[in-house]
Amino acid sequence: MRTVSRIAVIPGDGIGPEVCAVALRVLDALGGEPFEYETFPWGSGHYLSSGRMMPAGALETLAEFDAILFGAVGSREVPDHITLWGLRLAIVQGFDQGVSLRPARLLPGVRGPLADRAPEEIDLVVVRENTEGEYSGIGGFTRRGLPGEIAVQTTVYSHDGIARTARYAFELARSRNARHLTSVTKSNASPHASVLWDEVVAEVAAGFPDVRWESLLVDAAAARLVLAPQEFDVIVASNLHGDILSDLTGALTGSLGMAPSANLSLDQMRPSMFEPVHGSAFDLVGRGVANPIGMVLSVALMLDDLGLHHSGDRVRHTVAAVCADGVLTPDVGGDSTTEQVADAIVAALEG
C-alpha cells in the first residue's frame, strides 16, 4: 500500500488562490499518487481580521505535513514587511529551509525577451542561500521618528550556512550535463561577509574536482545573464543576490509567471515549501489570466522532494508540450485563460 503524502495548502493573497487551485487539479490528474490536502486561509485577510498573518501555533500545525504549497503573499492594505515576515519568511526561518531552488528554463513556444535565444540557451538553476544574509532579520531603529533617525540592518553570513548551500549547489551541478557552477558574490565592496562566502565556496569546491566553477561579482553576473545566458548552468548566491538574480532569470524565460521555486529543509526533518516566484499581482485578480505555469512547475519540484521523480518529470514534460502547442497566457504572448492552460495540462496528464 502506498503512503499518503499530506500537503498543506496556503493560497495566500492576490492570484495565489487561483494558481493554487490549478496546482491541486494537476496533482489529482496524475492518478495513482495518493495525496491529502488541507487548506489554511492565512495571509493578509487573516491579518486584517486578527492582527496576525497566521495564528499562534501555525508552525506546529504545518510540521505534521509532508510538504507545503504556497500561493503568494502581499497586499495593498498591509505593509510588505508585515506580510513577508509574518507568513512566508516565518515559515522559511521557522523550518530552517536553508536553500531556495529556482530553475529557469525557456520553454518551447515561449518567446523570451532576448532576441533569437532558443530554449537550449536558457536552462539554468539559481541556488539561493535562504535564511541568512540581509534576510536574517537582525537590526533595528534608533531615534525613531526624530531628526537623525537611524536604521541598522545587519548582514549575517555563517560558515555552516554558506557551506550547506554550496554543497547542495555543487551536487546539483555534478548531476547536470554541463557540470558547471558560478558563485556570485560582491567581495570587492563587501570585504567581510562576501569574502567569507568566497572562501567557503572555494573550500567546498575542492571536494568536487569534476565540476568546473568560477566566481563572478553580482553586477557582472547580471550583465552576462542578459548578454550570454547560455554560459550559465548552476548559479549559487547569497540570499539577497539570489533573490534579485532569480527574478532576472525568471524574466529571461518570458515572465515571472513561468518561474517555480522550492524552499528546502535539507535535513528533511521539517516540510519544504513550494511556490511560484511571482507575487500576489493584484492587477490580475479575478480576470482569469494569471499564469499558472510557475505554480505547476513548483508542484513538479514538490514531487521530486517527495521522491516521486517520475511524476515530477511527467508534469514538466506536459507543461513543455502545452507551451509548445501555443496554450499560453497573455504575459507570454498568448491569449489563453488560466483555466484553459489548466485544462490543457490536466487533459494531457489524464490522456
Select which of 219, 313, 325, 335 is catalytic.
Answer: 219
Contact 132, 158 (CB under 8 A): yes
Distance in angstroms (rounded) separating the CA atoms of residues 37 and 27: 10
Could you give the CA distance from residue 285 to residue 133 in angstroms, rounded to a whole number? 33
Annotated active-site residue 247? The verdict is yes
d(CA 177, CA 174): 8
CB 281 within 8 A of CB 290: yes
Active-site residue, selected from the candidate residues 28, 96, 198, 247: 247
| CA distances to 32, 104, 301, 307 from 311, in Å | 10, 19, 10, 9
Q: Is 219 noted as a catalytic residue in this protein?
A: yes
Q: How far is CA 104 from CA 127, 228, 322, in A?
A: 11, 14, 17
- Contacts within 8 Å (CB) and 24+ apart, 205-210: 205/166, 205/170, 205/181, 207/167, 207/170, 208/170, 208/171, 208/173, 208/174, 210/174, 210/179
Which residues lie closer than 8 Å to 180 by C-beta, 6 or more apart? 173, 211, 212, 213, 232, 233, 234
Residue appearing with cell numbers 523570451 = 112
Q: Which among 13, 47, 66, 135 is annotated as catalytic?
A: 135
Residues in contact with 182: Cβ distance below 8 Å, sequence separation at least 6, in sequence order: 213, 214, 215, 216, 221, 232, 233, 234, 235, 236
- The yes-or-no answer on residue 283 being catalytic is no
From the candidates 13, 66, 243, 305, give the one annotated as an active-site residue: 243
CA angle 256–261–264, rounded 5-degree value: 160
116 is catalytic: no
Q: What are φ and ψ of residue 114, in 5° steps?
A: -90, 125
Catalytic residue status for 335: no
Q: Which of 186, 233, 304, 331 is catalytic?
A: 186
Strand 99-105 vs strand 260-264: parallel, antiparallel, or unpaired? Answer: antiparallel
Q: Would you state the cell numbers that stand for residue 223, as one nine-digit string? A: 550583465
Residue 318 grid coordinates: 506536459
Give the residue numbers marked as catalytic. 135, 186, 219, 243, 247
